[in-house]
Amino acid sequence: MLVRCSLRPSASRRPAVLEVFVDADACPVKDEIYRVAYRYTLTVHVVANQSMSVPEPEHFRAVLVGDRFDEADDWIAEHAGAKDIVITADILLAARCLATGARVLGPRGRVFKDETIGEAVAAREAQQYLREMGLNAGGPPPLEERDRSRFAQRLDQLVQDIRNGK
């Protein structure tokens, strides 16, 4: 199911239920997300600025946003809230979503928390500065099977924690 969305603020927020929001443009762990979502019958919003196919439209929604810079991030930050999980490698989006009460998980299994997000933002800015100076041209290492396994385990744990009121 493809849903074209605008960024109009909604007058009423949806009820607080567990949903998953995926910053999908470069997300390498979609299959792992789908497996966990099937297990728990979760609704997953796969948000991107290009068309993406998703399995079974009953629980998986492809949300197509415009191509404005950070439009997918803006949509996710606007719609995710308490009792939701956001999957992103974008540290600035992670900070925005933590501020709404959402749980945030990176594709390598890193759980972002209020207590540590400031450090992550500072490290991101330092890396960006080094790249701009030409001192750090490399990106992150390739995703390995153990990263995928850690991600799936942590996503499963986050779902259980939310469902158990933790």
Output the six-digit token pair for 140. 């992150």
DSSP state of 45: E
Does the domain formed by 14-163 have CATH 4.10.860?
no
Q: Dump pLDDT digits (tens) for 14-63.
A: 444 699 999 998 899 999 999 999 999 999 999 999 998 898 778 899 99
Please give the model's pTM, rounded to 2 decimal places.
Answer: 0.80
